[in-house]
Homo-oligomer: A and B are copies of this chain.
Amino acid sequence: MHAAVTALLGRRVRLGLVGGGGASLIGPVHRVAARFDDCFETVAGVLSSKPERALAEAQALGLPRGYADMATMIAEEAKRPDGIDAVAIMTPNDSHQLYAEMALAAGLDVICDKPLTNDLESALGLVETARSRGLVFCLTHNYSGYPMVREARSAVAENELGPLRVATVSYVQGSLGTRVEDKPEAMLERTRWRLDPARGGLSHVMGDIGTHAHQLLSFVTGRKVEAVLADVGAAMPDRVTHDTASVILRLEGGVRGVLFATKAATGAENAMSLEVYGEAGGLHWAQASANELRVMRNARPAEIRTRGLPTLHEYSRRAARIPPGHPEAFFEAFANIYSDFALLVAARRAGKPADPFAALAPTAADGADGLAFIEACLDSTASGTWAKVRQF
């Protein structure tokens, strides 16, 4: 990946960080992902919304250029011959729109944590800004970076399963399995803002993990959700925050299925799994055995495809770094999204066509789809009946 990026750009992509300091869980993940394949130089950053802390944290991380705020970073970097090409945004959800619009306005490519924003209209605004300015906008729906998820997608795309009929996806966590809101003083800041609807979004479970499940399903099936029958709310009595979402799905082509996401499953550890069935076969992937994809056929042995096998589809072979039996996992999948982003940025700046494999990286449009899905689920919950998902 390093070689492909430098072949296009003559150097690595210069990246500025926005957020991810302090006790952020995802900040260190983004930074590892950016280093992983040596496609980026992380040269600048605004690590906190508090100017002093922002400078201190940048120094602690050894960033060449720490800034007190986003506007300063954009302005100062623009003056430099070696200024940043792109920013990585990993702030609380309610600030994604502002920072992303600022970056796009400055001609910077953007990679942003999910959900894209907290409401559909601002999401569509970002889609339009990125499109009209011809800039790259990637969204870190990192589960689609797993090689075997990409194998699943290729298997569907190349019609190995025949016409799709049934699909289910589930994402089960336990972080809200107990009444954490009873002890707000014990909450980490990263939990606090997520549970605040003004900052984390109207529906915590949907924004935090439901959109991941939705994107995984759409990514693999290549089909959009058209309508939902949903029950989103709190399994915990007297809880305001949404912790559980049960959603009956109708996908393009009449595919039936269910999306289930909960954070109230005490003891569950981020369990994510997907099943897709067509007339010719089915597939099953789960993050807990991320290096495998089970491919099923009618009345025949199932096949266990393992990451790195030479017989896999090119999209998944490209996403693996080492041979089967040497497992890759969460960071590697995240890094694949970053490396895709680097390739897209390098190609855009070089005026070359982008590597088609990098086009797998989730975009702002995927983020808008996710927000339309959330809206439909909340509408359906409110009305108690089917709701259509807005399409773009």
A177 proximal to B (CB < 8 A): yes
Q: Which of A199-232 contact B (CB under 8 A)?
A: 229-231
Residue on B nearest A233 in the bound complex, by CB: B256
Whether A159 sits at the interface, judged by CB under 8 Å, is no
List of B residues within 8 angstroms of A300 by Cβ: 267, 309, 311
Contact present for A165 and B235 (CB under 8 Å): yes
Could you tell me if A290 and B327 are in contact, using CB atoms closer than 8 angstroms? yes
- Which of B229, B255, B270, B277 contacts A325, CB < 8 Å? B270
Interface membership of A193, Cβ < 8 A: no
A301 touching B298 in the complex, CB below 8 Å, given contacts A244-B166, A248-B231, A270-B324:
no
Contact A327 B287 (CB under 8 A): yes
Instruction: Please indicate the chain B residues that have their CB under 8 angstroms from the CB of A390 in the complex.
Output: none
Q: Which of A95-110 contact B (CB under 8 A)?
A: none
Interface-forming stretch among A14-22, A84-92, A124-132, A328-336?
A328-336
Q: Are B269 and A281 in contact (CB under 8 A)?
A: no
Q: Is there contact, CB below 8 Å, between A296 and B268?
A: yes
A281 to chain B: which residues have CB within 8 Å?
A: 266-267
A6 contact set on B, CB distance < 8 A: 60, 62
Interface residue stretch chosen among A167-175, A351-359, A361-369:
A167-175
A30-38, A43-51, A69-77, A115-123 - interface stretch: A30-38
Judged by a CB distance under 8 angstroms, whether A187 is at the interface is no
Which of B165, B246, B264 is A277 in contact with, Cβ under 8 Å?
B264
* Closest chain B residue to A163, Cβ basis: B237
A302 interface residue, CB < 8 Å from B?
yes
Chain B residue contacts of A280, Cβ below 8 A: 266
Inter-chain contacts of A172 with B (CB < 8 A): 275
Which residues of A in the span 310-362 have a Cβ within 8 Å of any Cβ on B? 310-311, 321-332
- Of A6, A36, A270, A301, the most chain B CB neighbours within 10 A belong to A301
Is A56 at the interface (CB under 8 A from chain B)?
Answer: no
Give Cα distance in the complex from A265 to B294, angstroms: 13
What's the least CB distance linking A174 to chain B, in Å? 6
A76 to chain B, nearest CB (A): 23
Given contacts A231-B248, A330-B322, contact A277 B266 (CB under 8 A): yes
Pairs across A and B, CB under 8 Å, 18 listed:
A32-B36, A32-B321, A36-B36, A165-B235, A178-B298, A229-B231, A235-B254, A246-B258, A264-B277, A265-B282, A267-B298, A267-B302, A300-B311, A302-B304, A304-B304, A326-B329, A328-B329, A384-B386
